[in-house]
């Protein structure tokens, strides 16, 4: 049991939840404009799901993300910690969440979760935008027991009463200490650390990661809806680029076409820095400079994903800048496509997570040797040096247990072949880089390719590129 020694009248939930900085007439919404955000009961259900797998007499603690500095007085746009967002829907910094296994009873109050958030502050909101405040967290996110983050330091919590206290250990080096704020993330973490059992006997820094991975690897219907929207936007972006690409363009102009569609269709961000590499850069796996001028002999690898309401797509297509694959390019492309098709066939419930990867390897190993690109089959790793799959969700490389595939898993299948200049093979293959990636939902009896809304057959790619439609 948890003991709050300092809960007195001015800390009671009915008082603490009042937001006196703005009065009662202006309740702030998480988002004033989007109508398809996940509802509060989704996040409540996720907290309940976590509670069911917590051991007896335990609690889990989660911190929001920090505001990260880009340079001088310019910060990066805030992005919430995915675990915190998954459990709360709260998209602001300087917050802490407690999830208890059992109900805690203090006087007439009975609760199994608490959240501390930043209060309304009209002077700060004038500069940085509206905050939810306590009333917003209560009314829009469904928390009954919410407190100002400034009050956390004075909450006397006896964490030694628990058999297990779960939390994530992370590096605090990038968290700025606001000397004027008692409720900033730096202070929340400091005061939490001070409240821990001094013997550290009941602290567990490992199992919470596994528990959250087990939950997040199985997508709820509401999550799949948002993932499908992110994927639909990304497909439109890829299709627009196919119709617009031509020699003389730069990689950054191709990037602009893609990300223009992201924004036009309502995505908040790219889910990751767009990888748009032509020619020799197609052979760099995570190339993001995107500055090269493209020539008609280049292949362009376009690995991009829109992020929509927190959920990210991840789709790769490889396109010939000239609009036509050369003979060598088509051979390599078809090897990768064949490998991907075999990998996708292995995406069924009951198979091991890495089975699609193993199926893709068999094809690439066989075909590279068949065309004399490798001298023995084991040399395939020179040209295919990564795995085919990762989970997809709130993170583009989402968390999961990498065990057996089951209904509700969403993963990528993305084999590739990369033959940089100077490779130990005929120079006619040099600077050919191909990757094809799709997003796959594991269903009850098989799978659904969520990203089949943009073509990958080489003939279809050439046909759509011949249309040369100006982006909308």
Average pLDDT, the chain: 91
Q: Is the pLDDT of residue 27 over 60?
A: no
How confident is the model at residue 468, as a pLDDT?
A: 65
Q: Read off the tokens for 344.
A: 């996708």
Q: Is the pLDDT of residue 472 over 90?
A: no
Q: Read off the tokens for 24.
A: 């009662």
Active-site residue flag, 303: yes
Among 43-57, 122-136, 169-183, 355-369, name the one with the lowest average pLDDT. 169-183
How confident is the model at residue 14, as a pLDDT?
A: 37
Active-site residue flag, 194: no
Question: The CATH number of 218-467 is which of 3.90.1150.10, 1.10.10.10, 3.90.230.10, 3.20.20.80?
Answer: 3.90.230.10
Active-site residue flag, 467: no
User: Which entry of 386, 402, 448, 452 is annotated as an active-site residue?
Assistant: 386
How confident is the model at residue 3, as a pLDDT?
A: 35
User: Which entry of 81, 251, 314, 439 is annotated as an active-site residue?
Assistant: 314
User: Which entry of 303, 355, 359, 398 is annotated as an active-site residue?
Assistant: 303
Q: Is the pLDDT of residue 11 over 50?
A: no
User: Which entry of 47, 131, 309, 390 is annotated as an active-site residue?
Assistant: 390
Q: Which residues pair with 304 in a beta bridge?
A: 315
Short-list 345, 419, 414, 412, CA closest to 381: 419
How confident is the model at residue 470, as a pLDDT?
A: 52
Active-site residue flag, 73: yes
Q: Is the pLDDT of residue 26 over 70?
A: no
- The pLDDT tens digits for 379-420 are 999 999 999 999 999 999 999 999 999 999 999 999 999 999
Query: In the chain, pLDDT over 90 holds for what percent of residues?
Result: 84
- The pLDDT tens digits for 297-351 are 999 999 999 999 999 999 999 999 999 999 999 999 999 999 999 999 999 999 9
User: Which entry of 435, 438, 447, 462 is annotated as an active-site residue?
Assistant: 435
- Is 9-215's fold the same as 218-467's? no
Active-site residue flag, 170: no
How confident is the model at residue 28, as a pLDDT?
A: 39
Short-list 283, 231, 300, CA closest to 262: 231
User: Which entry of 414, 438, 439, 462 is annotated as an active-site residue?
Assistant: 414
- The pLDDT tens digits for 225-269 are 999 999 999 999 999 999 999 999 999 999 999 999 999 999 999
- The pLDDT tens digits for 357-387 are 999 999 999 999 999 999 999 999 999 999 9
Active-site residue flag, 128: no
- Integer angstrom CA distances of residue 160 from 156, 187, 202, 319, 470: 12, 21, 7, 59, 64
Q: Is the pLDDT of residue 167 over 60?
A: yes
Active-site residue flag, 418: yes
Q: Is the pLDDT of residue 9 over 70?
A: no
User: Which entry of 110, 128, 286, 381 is annotated as an active-site residue?
Assistant: 286
Q: Is the pLDDT of residue 174 over 80?
A: no
Q: Is the pLDDT of residue 195 over 60?
A: yes
How confident is the model at residue 172, as a pLDDT?
A: 63
User: Which entry of 51, 151, 397, 402 is annotated as an active-site residue?
Assistant: 397
Tell me which fold the domain 9-215 belongs to.
Creatine Amidinohydrolase; Chain A, domain 1 (3.40.350)
Active-site residue flag, 79: no
Active-site residue flag, 397: yes
Q: Is the pLDDT of residue 428 over 80?
A: yes
Q: Is the pLDDT of residue 18 over 90?
A: no
Given its phi and psi angles, is residue 293 left (phi above 0), alpha (psi -120 to 50 degrees) or beta?
A: beta
Q: Is the pLDDT of residue 7 over 60?
A: no
User: Which entry of 85, 92, 418, 462 is annotated as an active-site residue?
Assistant: 418
How confident is the model at residue 109, as a pLDDT?
A: 84
Q: Is the pLDDT of residue 17 over 70?
A: no
How confident is the model at residue 177, as a pLDDT?
A: 81
């Amino acid at each position: 049991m948890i003991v709050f020694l300092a809960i007195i009248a001015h800390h009671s939930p009915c008082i603490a939840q009042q937001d006196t900085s703005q009065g009662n007439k202006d309740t702030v919404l998480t988002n004033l404009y989007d109508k398809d955000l996940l509802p509060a009961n989704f996040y409540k259900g996720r907290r309940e799901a976590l509670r069911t797998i917590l051991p007896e007499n335990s609690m889990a603690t989660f911190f929001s993300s920090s505001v990260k500095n880009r340079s001088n007085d310019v910060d990066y746009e805030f992005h919430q910690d995915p675990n915190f967002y998954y459990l709360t829907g709260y998209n602001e910094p300087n917050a802490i969440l407690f999830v208890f296994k059992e109900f805690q009873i203090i006087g007439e109050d009975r609760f199994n979760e608490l959240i501390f958030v930043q209060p309304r502050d009209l002077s700060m909101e004038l500069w940085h935008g509206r905050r939810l405040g306590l009333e917003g967290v209560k009314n829009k996110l469904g928390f009954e027991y919410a407190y100002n983050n400034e009050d956390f330091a004075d909450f006397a919590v006896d964490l030694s009463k628990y058999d297990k206290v779960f939390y994530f250990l992370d590096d605090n080096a990038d968290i700025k200490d606001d000397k004027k704020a008692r409720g900033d993330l730096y202070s929340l973490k400091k005061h939490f650390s001070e409240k821990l059992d001094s013997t550290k006997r009941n602290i567990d820094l490992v199992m919470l990661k596994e528990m959250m991975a087990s939950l997040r690897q199985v997508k709820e219907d509401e999550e799949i809806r948002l993932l499908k929207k992110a994927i639909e936007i990304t497909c439109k972006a890829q299709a627009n680029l196919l119709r617009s690409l031509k020699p003389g363009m730069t990689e950054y102009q191709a990037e602009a076409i893609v990300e223009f569609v992201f924004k036009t269709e309502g995505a908040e961000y790219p889910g990751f820095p767009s990888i748009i590499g032509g020619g020799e850069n197609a052979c760099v796996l995570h190339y993001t400079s995107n500055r090269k001028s493209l020539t008609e002999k280049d292949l362009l690898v376009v690995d991009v994903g829109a992020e929509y309401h927190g959920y990210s797509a991840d789709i790769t297509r490889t396109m010939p800048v000239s609009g036509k694959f050369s003979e060598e390019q088509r051979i390599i492309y078809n090897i990768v496509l064949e490998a991907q098709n075999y990998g996708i066939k292995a995406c069924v419930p009951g198979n091991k997570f890495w089975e699609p990867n193993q199926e893709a390897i068999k094809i690439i190993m066989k075909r590279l040797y068949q065309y004399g690109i490798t001298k023995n089959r084991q040399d395939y790793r020179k040209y295919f040096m990564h795995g085919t799959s990762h989970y997809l969700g709130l993170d583009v490389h989402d968390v999961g247990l990498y065990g057996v595939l089951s209904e509700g898993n969403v993963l990528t299948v993305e084999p590739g072949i990369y033959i940089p200049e100077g490779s130990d093979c005929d120079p006619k293959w040099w600077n050919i880089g191909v990757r094809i990636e799709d997003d796959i939902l594991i269903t009850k009896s098989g799978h659904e390719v969520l990203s089949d809304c943009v073509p990958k057959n080489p003939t279809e790619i050439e046909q759509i590129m011949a249309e040369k439609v100006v982006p909308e």
